[in-house]
Structure 1
Amino acid sequence: FFMLAMVIGIFFKVTILFYAATIGTANLFKIKSPSMLSYPLGIVILFLSVTIASNFQEHLHEGLYIAKFILHIPLFTIIPPILLFIASLQKRKSHGSKHI
């Protein structure tokens, strides 16, 4: 029962993430029909899932060590303060122009 629940949970997680990627890509490139992107994005995801890690040990190594420095540190510690600074500058600029 545990394995069945895990498989079903992973299926729904991948489905929701794929849907979000499709909608996000369609919005990014201003494509009116996101369903046109489902096959191309599916092929990209399939190709990347096969080529990223050839076995489980390599998958763990990439997830624990490589992704930490390439993804986690920039996305969670460097980029948010920069975006906060830019947003505060824009807010200050917009409030300053309203009073003139």
Structure 2
Amino acid sequence: MIALVIVGFVKISVFFYAVIVGLSTLFKVKRPSALTYPVGTVILFFSLTIASNVQEHLKEGLTIMPVLLFIPFHLVIPFTLLCIAFIK
């Protein structure tokens, strides 16, 4: 259980670092550390408002997310990029 918690913490930390570096590159921010508090606040806000309990989290993850995320990211965007590659 301790290993699972440690690995989860490391995974979240790596994702958070990737978001900070990506945003600082995208917006050409000289000090990426200036983005840590705003991004952390947004993540905290969304983590508290998306699902209030485990049952709601599972319901959203099994019914809503496949339609909103999986279909566009796994079907629509790759197919569109493939069509654009063939046209070019």
* 1:41-85 superposed Cα distances (whole Å, 9 cap, x missing partner): 000000100010000000001111111000111011110121232
- Name the structure 2 match of 1:98: none
Q: Does the residue aligned with 1:32 lie in a helix, a strand or coil?
A: coil
4+ residue runs over 2 A deviation: 84-89
- Name the structure 2 match of 1:76: 74
Tell me the distance in 2 between the aligned counterparts of 1:63 and 1:21.
Answer: 22
Tell me the distance in 1 between the aligned counterparts of 2:27 and 2:85.
Answer: 23
Tell me the distance in 1 between the aligned counterparts of 2:86 and 2:22.
Answer: 25
User: Is 1:22 the equivalent of 2:36?
Assistant: no
1:44 to 42, 45, 53: 42
Task: Show structure 2 runs of 5+ residues with no match.
Answer: none
- Name the structure 1 match of 2:61: 63
TM-score by length of 1: 0.81
Aligned residue-pair number: 88
Tell me the distance in 2 between the aligned counterparts of 1:81 and 1:23.
Answer: 29
Q: Mark the structure with the bigger radius of gyration.
A: 1
TM-score by length of 2: 0.91
- For the aligned residue pairs, the C-alpha RMSD in angstroms reads 1.2
